[in-house]
Amino acid sequence: MADELHRALKGICECIKISYDLPNISSDPVYVPRQYFVLTDAGKPVFVSRSDKSENDASSDDMTSGIGVMQALISVFADNGDKLRSIISGTTRMTFVLRSPLYYVYSASSLEPECVARSHLEYLHLQILSIVTAAQIKKIFQRRSNFDLSRLMSGSTSMLTGMVTRLQDDLGTFFSSLSALRMDSSLRTKAAESIVPPTKMSDMLYTILLVKNQVVSLVRPRKHSIHPAVTDLHILLNTLAVPSLSSSVATASWIPICLPKYNPQAFLHAYISYLNPEIELTLISICGGRDMEAVREWSDQAVQRLKDEGTLLSLEHAARRCEYGVGELSIPGLRHFVYKSRQHIQITSPVFESPYDEMNGRQRLIRSYQILFDSIHAKSGQSSTLKLQSIQTEHENLLAWITQPFELYVALSPNMSKSAMVGAANAVARWVRKEEVKLFLRDAPVF
State yes or no: pLDDT of 204 exceeds 60: yes
Q: Which residues pair with 389 in a beta bridge?
A: 400
State residue 24's pLDDT score. 37
**Residues 127 and 252 both lie in one domain:** no
Q: Indicate whether 349 and 309 sit together in one domain.
A: no
What is the C-alpha to C-alpha distance for residues 294 and 258, in angstroms, rounded to an integer? Answer: 20
Instruction: Report d(CA 372, CA 88) in Å as an integer.
Output: 21
Residue 265 and residue 126 in one domain? no
Q: Is 347 helix (H, G, I), strand (E, B) or coil?
A: strand
Residues 314 and 330 in one domain: no
Q: At what angle do helices 292-308 and 185-194 cross, to 10 degrees?
A: 140
Note whether 160 and 49 are same-domain residues. yes
Average pLDDT, the chain: 87
pLDDT the model gives residue 246? 67
Question: Is the separation of the CB atoms in 280 and 212 below 8 Å?
Answer: yes
Same domain, 56 and 142: yes
Higher pLDDT, 416 or 225: 416
Q: CB of 281 within 8 A of CB of 195?
A: no
Q: What count of residues does the chain have? A: 447
Segment (H or E) for 92: strand 92-99
Q: Which of 320, 341, 368 is the last residue of a domain?
A: 320
User: Pick from 169, 201, 222: which residue ends a domain?
Assistant: 169
Cβ atoms of 166 and 173 closer than 8 Å: yes
Kindly state whether residue 446 falls inside one of the protein's structural domains: no
Enclosing domain of residue 415: 326-439
CATH number of the domain bearing residue 272: 3.30.450.30
For the stretch 54-103, pLDDT in tens is: 444 444 666 777 888 888 889 888 888 888 999 888 778 899 999 999 99
Strands 214-219 and 35-40 come out as unpaired
Is 444 within the bounds of a domain? no
Predicted TM-score of the model (pTM): 0.90
Tens of pLDDT along 163-173? Answer: 999 999 899 99
On whether both 307 and 356 belong to a single domain, the answer is no
Q: Which of 34-38, 107-111, 142-146, 256-260 has the lowest mean pLDDT?
A: 107-111
Lowest-pLDDT range of 183-197, 217-231, 264-278: 217-231
- DSSP-assigned beta bridge partners for residue 252: 273
Give 20-26 contacts, CB < 8 A, sequence gap 24+: 20/89, 20/90, 20/92, 21/90, 21/91, 21/92, 22/90, 22/91, 22/92, 22/109, 23/91, 24/91, 25/109, 25/111
So what's the pLDDT on residue 63? 72
> How many domains does one find in the chain?
3
CATH number at residue 139: 3.30.450.70
Do 263 and 365 lie in one domain? The reply is no
pLDDT-derived band at 21, boundaries 50, 70, 90: very low
Answer yes or no: is pLDDT of 301 > 90. Answer: yes
Which of the 8 DSSP states describes residue 10? H
pLDDT at 339: 98
The pLDDT score that the predictor gives to residue 59 is: 47
Q: Is residue 146 located within the same domain as residue 220?
A: no
pLDDT in tens, 280-291: 999 999 998 778
Q: Name the pLDDT band for 226 (thresholds 50, 70, 90).
A: low
Compute the average pLDDT of residues 193-216.
90
Helix axes 359-376, 114-131, angle to 10 degrees: 100
- Does residue 69 contact residue 11 with C-beta atoms inside 8 Å? yes
The whole-angstrom separation of Cα 78 and Cα 332 is: 55
Are the C-beta atoms of residues 209 and 195 closer than 8 Å to each other? yes
Same domain, 198 and 233: yes
In a domain, 447, yes or no: no
